[in-house]
Every structure is written in structure tokens, then in C-alpha cells.
Amino acid sequence: MNNELSFIFSRRSVRTYQPKEVGPELVQNLLESAMAAPSAVAKDPWEFLVIRERSTLARIASGLPNGGLLADAAVGIVVCGDLTRAHDHQLSYLLQDCSAAIENLLLAAQALGLGGCWLGVHPREDRVAHIRQLLAVPEQVIPVAVIAVGWPAESPAPRTRYRAEAVHYETW
């Protein structure tokens, strides 16, 4: 692993957090990093709901099968996409744009000493409906994922998942 890329290899899903607040300036840094992601035709269809209220985090977690960790996170960031702003109003572009923003957010969290975990919402209709109803998300806005963020209480080892057999040059 190239040492200059250690911030990528050391970015791992963190599922346990210290009971410590993540300040507003760090959340702002995360959001700015997320919104620095590439977007098809620079449409930037993403929207972010920042959740700090413990009871709301617990209610969000209750509708996500692997969401229990969210109840202990300092903050949850619900990443959504507005289909009316996506390139050609295409769901695929919206999902690509939001995914790029999510990865930027997770890498920024790692660089700032925070831990994060991506909890999938879309395409599970029950999860989408849960988030939509709980947080009053408008119909044209699609909840894509919830990102749990906090000060890590665990340190998973850096790794790469590189597989040479998955790489093809010039043709299959």
C-alpha cells in the first residue's frame, strides 16, 4: 500500500463510538467535503439532513436492519438526492452523485480523526419510506443513505481489497 494513500486504506467502517460531541465546525468540514464531490453536469442534486437529537437517531436506527450503531453516534447525516435536480432527472445519475459525496464525507471524517459508517437506505422501499416519513422528506427527494459519525471507540486495521483478477487491460 502506498503510504501517501494511507488515508484511503485506513478509512474503515467504524461501528462503535466514544460518548463525545462532534462540533459544528467539524460537521461543516464534512459537508463541505461531501459537496466537493464530482457530479454529472455539475447538477449537485444532493441534500443533507444533519441529525444530532438522540431520540431521532434512535428512531432512524429502528428502521435500518444494521442501524443500531447510529443510536450511539454523535451525529447522523442523511444523504438524499433531489430527482428534479439530477442530470436528465435520472435516478442513476442521482445515485452516482450522492455516492461520490458520501465517499468524500467518509474520507474527510477519517482525515479529521472521526469514524463513520455508511448505512444503506435506497433501494429498500421500507427504509426509504421510514426515513421519508420520520424526517418529512419531500416526494421528489430520495433518501440514499445515513452516515453515522463520531469519535471512534475502535481502530480497524488499514487494508486494501485489491484483487488482481478483477483488473482487465484493453479488453476483457
> Is 115:18 a contact under the CB 8 Å cutoff?
no
Domains and CATH numbers, the chain: 10-152 (3.40.109.10)
Average pLDDT, the chain: 97
Q: Residue 153 and residue 161: Cα distance in Å, rounded?
A: 23
pLDDT at res. 1:
81
Q: Give the helix/strand (H/E) hosting 91.
A: helix 91-111
Site of grid cell 467535503: 33
Cβ atoms of residues 47 and 141 within 8 Å: yes
Tell me which residue has cell 442513476.
92
Q: What pLDDT is recorded for position 44?
A: 98
| CB-CB contact of 132 with 144 (8 Å) | no
The candidate with the shortest Cα–Cα distance to 130, out of 59, 77, 66, is 59
Q: Please report, for residues 56, 157, 168, 170, the alpha-carbon distance to residue 163 in angstroms, rounded to integers and kept in the order given.
A: 40, 18, 11, 17
The answer on pLDDT for 110 being more than 90 is yes
Taking only the tens place, the pLDDT of each residue in 70-109 is 999 999 999 999 999 999 999 999 999 999 999 999 999 9
